[in-house]
Structure 1
Amino acid sequence: MKKRILIIDDDPRNIFALAATLRAKQFDVASCTSASEALAKLKTDNAFDAVLIDMMMPEMDGYEAIPLIKEITPGRDLPIFAVTAQAMVGDREKCLASGADHYVAKPIDVDRLLSLLESI
């Protein structure tokens, strides 16, 4: 059975590239361009195997959204991957402290991401 991945990113180009890569590897992919849209989607569709969330978005960023995603999906071990261009000292720890299960820096190391997704 295909794993379902939800991509949350405000840049449609990032969604397009990541979704194309994941679909080529037999993942089922859905996407949202805002955290609020993703929260609404997760309230009605909780059949996702993982969430990839951009940490820097307007209105609501990943740091705010991750705890809300965890609230919507209590009791589920829904892996959340923080995807960010912020790769400075302390950024990984900040993402994980917000509740993310994994940290993936942009540009994305596709092989590493696929390996992480295969392990869920």
Structure 2
Amino acid sequence: MQSTEKKILIIDDDSRNIFALKAVLTAKKYACIAANNAKEGLDLIKKEGDVGVVLLDMMMPDMDGYQALAKMREDQQLKDVPAIAVTAQAMLGDKERCLEAGAVGYISKPVNVEELIKLINKYL
């Protein structure tokens, strides 16, 4: 669909989710990189330097998505990188909680690909 110089970083502790998202996005000509935890993901953003948007799982061990968003917003190098919350949490108020934490968008699992692409295109 769209080719871009900016990469999409997928941060998720479940390799199956990374595989599925990468497969769908790569098929649509997006460049993707991935991290299995938030610390690795934040380090990758700094190392790569060309991450246009982050797809961030909100429920991970060690550092969850909310903690990762807080770290991103505190860090001069990361604060302007848009993060889309991708979560299985789809209860009333979860979307608002993610947006209040600093996410620019919210997608619940299972992911609606068309909705995700629209969100990604807003920020790439």
Task: Tell me the TM-score range normalised by the shorter chain.
Answer: over 0.9
Equivalences, count = 120
Q: Deviations over 1:14-42 (max 9, x none)?
A: 00000000000110000000001111112
Distance 1:61 1:75, change over 3 A: closer
User: What amino acid is aligned across from residue 67 of structure 1 in structure 2?
Assistant: A
Q: Is 2:92 the counterpart of 1:89?
A: yes
Determine which of 80, 83, 94 is the counterpart of 2:83: 80
**8 A contact 2:72–2:78 mirrored in 1:** no
CA distance in 2, matches of 1:19, 1:62: 19
CA RMSD of aligned residues (A): 1.6
Distance 1:83 1:75, change over 3 A: closer
Q: Deviation at 1:43?
A: 2.2
Match of 2:44 in 1: 41
After TM superposition, the runs of 4+ consecutive aligned structure 1 residues lying more than 4 A away are 73-76
Report the TM-score, using the length of structure 2 for normalisation: 0.89
Q: Is 2:118 the counterpart of 1:111?
A: no
CA distance in 1, matches of 2:107, 2:34: 17
Distance 1:104 1:39, change over 3 A: same
Match of 2:27 in 1: 24
Unaligned 5+ residue runs, structure 1? Answer: none
CA distance in 2, matches of 1:76, 1:63: 14
Report the TM-score, using the length of structure 1 for normalisation: 0.92
Q: Deviation at 1:76?
A: 6.1
Query: What secondary structure, in the 3-state scheme, does the structure 2 residue paired with 1:6 have?
Result: strand
Unaligned 5+ residue runs, structure 2? Answer: none
Distance 1:30 1:89, change over 3 A: same
**8 A contact 1:43–1:72 mirrored in 2:** no
